[in-house]
Amino acid sequence: MSRSKHYYNYIVDIIEKINRIKSKIKDVEFEEFIENNDLQEIIEYNLMIIGEAISKIPSEILELEKYLNIMAKNENID
């Protein structure tokens, strides 16, 4: 597996975990979240997975991604 493909898999994992978190907390009030230990553990687990995946992506790739996002936003400005 090429390195870029390997990093791509980490990015896909990150996106999947973000979507999982979003689906779990959708329509959940803050008070409900605070009282729900199971939900907190699910969110914490997914955040840990995201952190681990990010730590395996070289900073050069993360910086490139930031640069590309900035460039894309600037191109859409009238």
pTM for the full predicted model: 0.71
> Taking all residues of the chain, what is their mean pLDDT, rounded to a whole number?
85
For 41-54, what is each residue's pLDDT tens digit?
A: 999 999 999 999 99
Q: Where in the sequence is the domain holding 71, given as residue range(s)?
A: 3-75
Residue that has been written with the tokens 């199971």 in this structure: 38
Percent of the chain with pLDDT over 90: 54
CA pseudo-torsion sign 9, 14, 18, 23: positive
Total number of domains constituting the chain: 1
CA distance linking residue 43 with residue 64, whole number of Å: 28
Read off the pLDDT band of 11 (50, 70, 90): confident
